[in-house]
Amino acid sequence: MEEREASIRLGASVDGLSHLAPEVSARTLLSTAQKKVLLGLLGALIVLLLLATNTTLIVLMAMVIFSYLASVAFRVYLFILSARRSSVEIVDDRIAAGVPADELPIYTVLIPAYREPHVIDELIDKIARFDYPTEKLDVKILVEADDTETLEVLAAREPAEQFEVVIVPVAEPRTKPKALNFGLTLARGQLVAVYDVEDDPDPLQLRRAAVAMSSLGPDVGCLQAKLTYHNQMQNIITKWFTIDYLMWFSFFLPGLGALKTLVPLGGTSNHFRTEVLRAMGAWDPYNVTEDADLGVRMYREGYVVKVLESLTYEEANSDFVNWVRQRSRWYKGYVQSLFVHLRSPIELYREIGPIKMGHMIMFVGGTPFLALANPIFWFLTFLWVLVGPGPLQSIFPAPVYYAGLICFALGNFSIYYISVASCRIAGRRELFLSSLLIPAYWVMMSIAAVKAFWQLIFTPTFWEKTVHGLHLQGNLQVSPAAAVAEGQSGPREAVGFRQDESGPSGSSSE
């Protein structure tokens, strides 16, 4: 690739969206108006707290409790809705496999790989398993120019012709969406799929998506396949994580689909119409969860996202610290996306109306909010048991107090119950005992949420890179240097927590 060509592509990858639609780019987290409003609110809050401490606390507490109730109720509603047939797109094996090769569109598969040399081999083998005509596959492995380790491994491997290694020039921001944008400028396909390096997708997934896309109207801009984990039985964290994903992809997202509302995408196994993606300015390189943001933006542009019945196995984070890093990044990204889309609330209101706006706030905002609000309620309950209702009564007038009580009892219970029910409906009885212990996982979520909010204030675009390959026993290919380059926490994650072997195919039961 010529240098000039590369620089044009790079320019589009970095600045495409912020030129096309600066109002939805997360290049700046807060617009000037938002900053003013937030500062104004903060000032007003301080003044109110000084002038009328009790009343202000009551109003604050009431707002938190009612938002919490709304978010929980919305999740229960989504769970009930997910039973509707319309919630998931299903393409039978027979139909998917039966489409003749010449009727299939060219499919571009984008796989960003950053400092992950040890999983490249596995990746190439897995992609080769796709049941899709080779001449119609356009697989692009996106590697940063300075990632010599990965490039070396790729050079040594010499992948087949449908693979193309795309070298992404070094430039800030060094994020996955920027690499994806760069890959998209080269895409030949009518459809584009995105996978992570460690993914193990259903071999028929591309065919299913192609069939579904051809039968669905032009308003469907993207299909999201369901995600789960190949190392789900590795330890209690991976089991919880699996239950979490099960609820998310098999119940909550299909529920959103049934409601015909916005669906925040999961970072991988998204299948787009290429022209739609291009017209929208593709991914926001400055957003930490560019996937969720893209889902919201698609809806604002008039497209819907549907859930595709097809599984992609990912690697679940089996380590506590690593998990918290990943999760806090997601929460941060959700808040970031929320701020971005609420920059001009009136315009958003005009575009999607009050109900869908409520959905966005309750789901995109509600996800980190619930995790953050939980410890507050647990602490208050603990205090109440310890010292009695006396000191709390002043900030809990009756209606707020009762709503708080319902929040605590019904809210926690219904999410707990849904966790167990999800496992049962999905036929995952081996996860039963873990689902009974899931409140411990909520504590982990809360830790991640606190971390996320902390970082959001101090380092809003810091990218918490997740270390992949932790499921491979004795895999010591991650060099300490690589881990250092990934983030601030240093090399301990790379070697410190190898787990029992649980290969990509060994434990998967679906």
Partner 1 sequence: MTVSSLASRVLDWEGTQTGPESVNGTGQESGGRGLRASVKGSIVFAKELLSFSYHRLTKRSSFFVPLVVYLSCGYLLDFVFRSFPGDAVSRMANAFYMLYSRDPHLASVGFVWTPLTSFADFIPLLFRDLWMPLSSHDVAGTLVSAMFMAGAAYQLERLLGGFRLDRRMRTILVATFALNPMIVFFGANGMSEALYAFFSIASTRYLFEWARSRSTRLLAYAGVMLGLGYLARNEVAVEAFVGLLVVLQQSFAKSKGTIRERALQSSMDGFLLAAPFAVCFVGWAVASYVITGIAFQQYSGNQVLVQASGFKPGSIQEILGHEAAAIMLLCPLVVPSAVAAIWLAFKRKLTTLAPVVLPAFGLAFTLAAYAKGILFPWLRYYILAIPLGYIIAGWLLSEISGASQFRGISTRKVSSTELKVRRNSLMRLPGFVVLALGLVGMPTSAYAMLDPSIGQGETVQQLGFIFHSKPTKGDLAVEHKRQAIQAIDDFITKLGLRNGSVVVDNDDSCVPEVLTSIGNPKVFVIPNDRDFQRILADPPAFGTHYLMVSVHGQAPDAISNAYPGIASGANGQATVVATFDSNSQCGTLRLLKISQEPKGSSQMNFR
Strand partners, 112: 142
353 interacts with partner 1 by CB under 8 A:
yes
Torsion-angle region of 490 (φ positive above 0: left; ψ -120 to 50: alpha; else: beta): left
From 227, 357, 372, 423, residue interacting with partner 1 (rule: CB under 8 A): 423
Tell how far CA 38 is from the center of its chain: 26
Which residues, numbered 78-107, are part of the site for partner 1 (CB under 8 A)? 80, 83
Within 82-201, where are the H helices? 93-98, 120-128, 148-157, 176-185
* DSSP annotation string for 378-440: HHHHHHHHHH-SHHHHTT--HHHHHHHHHIIIIIHHHHHHHHHHHHHHTT-GGGHHHHHTTHH
In a 3-state reduction of DSSP, which class is residue 229?
Answer: strand
Q: Is 348 in the site for partner 1 (CB under 8 A)?
A: no
Compute the Cα dihedral for 119, 122, 126, 127 and give only its sign: positive
Between residues 129 and 429, which has the closer beta carbon with respect to partner 1?
429
Of the candidate residues 67, 71, 108, 185, the single one contacting partner 1 (CB under 8 A): 185
Sole binder of partner 1 in the list 126, 207, 239, 356 (CB under 8 A) = 356
- Interface residue with partner 1 among 38, 402, 437, 510 (CB under 8 A) is 402
Q: Which long-range contacts (CB under 8 A, 24 or more apart) does 402-411 make?
A: 403/62, 403/65, 403/66, 403/69, 404/61, 404/65, 404/377, 404/380, 406/69, 407/65, 407/68, 407/69, 407/72, 407/377, 408/377, 408/381, 410/72, 411/68, 411/69, 411/72
> Which amino acid is present at 256?
L
Phi, psi values for residue 263, rounded to 5° = -125, 115
Nearer of residues 218 and 480 to partner 1, judged by Cβ: 218
> By the 8 A CB rule, do 288 and 333 touch?
yes
Closest by CA to 495, choosing from 508, 482, 476, 469, is 476
Q: How far is the CB of 446 from partner 1 (least distance, A)?
A: 22
Nearest approach in angstroms of CB 233 to partner 1 is 14
Q: Is 350 in the site for partner 1 (CB under 8 A)?
A: yes
* Region of 105-113, 170-178, 409-417, 454-462 interacting with partner 1 (CB under 8 A): 409-417
Closest to partner 1 by CB, 389 vs 506, is 389
How far apart are alpha carbons 99 and 96 in whole angstroms?
Answer: 6
Taking the complex as a whole, the smallest distance from the CB of residue 83 to partner 1 amounts, in Å, to 6
C-alpha distances out from residue 393 to 26, 51, 67, 143, 378, Å: 42, 20, 20, 58, 16
Distance CA 65, CA 413 (A): 16
Region of 32-40, 101-109, 216-224, 242-250 interacting with partner 1 (CB under 8 A): 216-224
The yes or no reply on residue 439 touching partner 1 (CB under 8 A) is no
**Is the CB of 174 or the CB of 188 nearer to partner 1?**
188
Tell whether omega for the bond before 345 is within 30 degrees of 0, i.e. cis: no
Distance from C-alpha of 324 to C-alpha of 446, rounded to nearest angstrom: 9
**C-alpha–C-alpha distance, residues 85 and 74, integer Å:** 19
Measured from the CB atom, the residue of 44 and 279 that comes closer to partner 1 is 279
Nearer to partner 1, 177 or 201 (CB): 177
Instruction: Mark the segment that binds partner 1 (CB under 8 A) among 213-221, 226-234, 236-244, 495-503.
Output: 213-221
Q: Is 453 in the site for partner 1 (CB under 8 A)?
A: no
Least distance between partner 1 and beta carbon 281 (Å): 7
- Measured in residues, the chain has a length of 510
Stretch that binds partner 1, among 152-160, 225-233, 422-430, 492-500 (CB under 8 A): 422-430
**Member of 51, 85, 102, 217 binding partner 1 (CB under 8 A):** 217
| Binding footprint of partner 1, residue count (CB under 8 A) | 49
Q: Which of 66, 351, 463, 477 binds partner 1 (CB under 8 A)?
A: 351
Among 58, 165, 236, 421, binds partner 1 (CB under 8 A): 421
CB of 357 to partner 1, least distance (A): 11
At 443 the three-state DSSP class reads helix
Is residue 309 within 8 Å of residue 226, measured between CB atoms?
yes
Site for partner 1, residues 251 to 310, rule: CB under 8 A: 275-276, 278-282, 299, 301-304
For the bound state, the minimum distance from the C-beta of residue 257 to partner 1, rounded and expressed in Å, comes to: 14
Q: Is 108 helix (H, G, I), strand (E, B) or coil?
A: strand
16 binds partner 1 (CB under 8 A): yes
Quick one: 282 or 448, whose CB is closer to partner 1? 282
Q: How far is the CB of 86 from partner 1 (least distance, A)?
A: 16
Please answer whether residues 341 and 378 qualify as being in contact, where contact means their C-beta atoms are separated by less than 8 angstroms: no
Q: Do 396 and 208 form a contact (C-beta atoms < 8 A)? A: no
CA proximity to 459, closest of 494, 420, 487: 487
Closer residue to partner 1 (CB): 19 or 35: 19
Does 436 help bind partner 1 (rule: CB under 8 A)?
A: yes
Closest distance of CB 229 from partner 1, Å? 20
Residues 106-165 that bind partner 1 (CB under 8 A): none
- Interface ranges with partner 1 (CB under 8 A): 2, 4-5, 8-9, 11-12, 16, 19-20, 80, 83, 184-185, 217-219, 275-276, 278-282, 299, 301-304, 350-353, 356, 398, 402, 409, 413, 417, 420-421, 423-425, 429-430, 432-433, 436
